[in-house]
């Protein structure tokens, strides 16, 4: 027995749908009392539950530093709690015991369970310890994730971050609005990655084909990193299909070949809301903006819409002056969070 450890082998289980700070507090307390703590993740292989690989990742990221935690999986094949009979309790208990492969000295639970629960009845040879779960309640969280955002550990939050994409032709206020909205919602944003890379040669007309490859790959990779630290929403200033749109203006065949990469990434992308900014504000020359686009703003705005529609993306249009655009965007985003 390790000095200070009350038990050799302990167990703590749950569906973790989603994993919240109440679960995490129980895990930390349980792990501190055991030589080994086995966490049992119960899961269903249907849309009523979170992907078991996601739940596994949550538990792993939050416990890997502890050192004495091991994770096992238990599939729940019922459709609701009433179908979970005592016969199934017993069968699942044997599966758990088989995976652990040693005597379980203690079973830990949160206070949402009592002595009549599966975790006590099926393990009579083990001590049963209940931890107070305080205010945390999984059902309340599922009913409104964003009202209980502070109840979720950081690795869990990223699963629920809404992605809001801002698109449109040049000089329609995308970058400014992206930052303003991020500030309003106290979150971060993904800037237009291609802006700096397009200036490596001083002008976008002299870009190399590898510049576009880098833009496309860096934008997607950065999105995956930034979302991990976003507060409910991640705002994105353009994406791969806007990059593809600008490729149409370049005659270099090697550059145009990157369209295949852009389309492949587009098929991986998903957004909770797309705001399309109409070209009805004053056009401003900012560096290397296209005169051709400036002279045909409606035409090229329509072309961007065609591209997104061809990939099945739906969007809402934002028009009016800058204040109206800001206020309209907030209404759409607030509605998204309410859903």
- What is the structure's pLDDT at 81? 65
User: What was the pLDDT predicted at 287?
Assistant: 58
3-state secondary structure of 207: coil
**pLDDT of res. 284:** 59
Q: Convert the pLDDT of each residue in 144-174 to its tens digit.
A: 999 999 999 999 999 999 999 999 987 788 9
pLDDT score of 196 more than 90: no
91 contacts: CB under 8 Å, gap ≥ 6: none
| Multiple choice CATH, 161-338, 3.40.50.740, 3.40.190.10, 3.30.2350.10, 3.40.50.300 | 3.40.50.300
DSSP letter at 34?
E
Q: What is the mean pLDDT of the chain?
A: 88
Task: Please state the pTM of the whole predicted model.
Answer: 0.87
Two tokens, residue 149: 């955002």
Q: Is residue 243 a contact partner of residue 216, using CB atoms and an 8 Å limit? A: yes
Weakest mean pLDDT among 108-117, 183-192, 234-243: 108-117
300 confidence band (pLDDT: 50, 70, 90): confident
Q: Which residue has the higher pLDDT, 251 or 61?
A: 61
Q: Is the pLDDT at 181 greater than 90, yes or no?
A: yes
Q: Where do the structural domains in the chain lie, given as residue ranges?
A: 7-149, 161-338
The pair of three-digit structure tokens given for residue 62, joined into one six-digit string:
């939050």
- Asked if residue 187 has pLDDT above 90, the reply is yes
Q: Quick check: bond before 119 cis, omega within 30?
A: no
Distance separating alpha carbons of residues 59 and 41, to the nearest angstrom: 9
Segment 57-89, tens digit of pLDDT: 999 999 999 999 999 999 988 776 666 777 888
pLDDT on residue 62:
97
Confidence of residue 282 (pLDDT cuts 50, 70, 90): low
Provide the token pair at 74: 């238990």
Residue 134 backbone zone (phi > 0: left; psi -120 to 50: alpha; other: beta)? left
- Cα–Cα distances (Å) from 193 to 4, 131, 145, 189, in that order, read 52, 47, 30, 11
Res 198: pLDDT: 64
Domains 7-149 and 161-338 share a fold: yes
Q: How confident is the model at residue 312 (pLDDT cuts 50, 70, 90)?
A: very high
Predicted local confidence at residue 1, as pLDDT: 43
Angle at 186 between CA 183 and CA 191, to 5 degrees: 55
Looking at domain 7-149, its CATH class is alpha beta
More confident position, 231 or 1? 231
> Hunting for tokens 């030589």 — which residue is that?
35
**pLDDT on residue 258:** 82
Q: Say yes or no to pLDDT of 297 above 90.
A: no
């Amino acid at each position: 027995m390790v000095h200070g450890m009350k038990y050799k082998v302990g167990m703590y289980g749950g569906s973790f749908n989603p994993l919240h700070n109440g679960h995490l507090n129980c895990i930390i307390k349980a792990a501190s009392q055991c030589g080994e703590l086995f966490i049992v993740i119960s899961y269903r292989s249907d849309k009523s539950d979170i992907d078991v690989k996601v739940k596994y990742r949550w538990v792993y990221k939050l416990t890997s530093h502890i050192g004495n935690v091991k994770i096992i999986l238990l599939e729940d094949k019922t459709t609701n709690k009433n179908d979970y009979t005592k016969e199934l309790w017993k069968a699942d208990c044997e599966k758990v015991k088989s995976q652990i492969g040693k005597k379980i000295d203690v079973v830990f639970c949160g206070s949402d369970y009592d002595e009549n629960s599966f975790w006590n009845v099926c393990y009579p040879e083990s001590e049963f310890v209940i931890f107070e779960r305080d205010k945390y309640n999984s059902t309340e969280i599922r009913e409104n994730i964003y009202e209980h955002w502070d109840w979720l550990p950081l690795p869990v939050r990223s699963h629920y971050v809404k992605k809001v994409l801002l698109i449109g032709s040049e000089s329609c206020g995308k970058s400014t609005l992206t930052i303003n909205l991020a500030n309003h919602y106290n979150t971060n944003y993904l800037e237009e990655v291609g802006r700096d890379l397009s200036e490596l040669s001083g002008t976008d007309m002299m870009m190399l084909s590898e510049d576009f490859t880098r833009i496309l790959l860096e934008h997607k990779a950065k999105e995956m990193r930034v979302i991990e630290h976003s507060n409910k929403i991640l705002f994105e200033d353009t994406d791969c299909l806007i990059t593809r749109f600008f490729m149409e203006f370049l005659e270099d065949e090697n550059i145009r070949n990157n369209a295949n990469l852009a389309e492949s990434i587009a098929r991986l992308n998903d957004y909770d809301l797309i705001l399309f900014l109409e070209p009805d504000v004053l056009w401003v020359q900012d560096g290397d903006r296209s005169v051709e686009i400036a002279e045909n703003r409606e035409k090229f705005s329509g072309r961007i819409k065609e591209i997104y529609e061809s990939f099945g993306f739906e969007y809402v249009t934002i028009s009016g002056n800058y204040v109206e655009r800001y206020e309209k965007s907030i209404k759409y985003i607030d509605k998204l969070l309410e859903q």
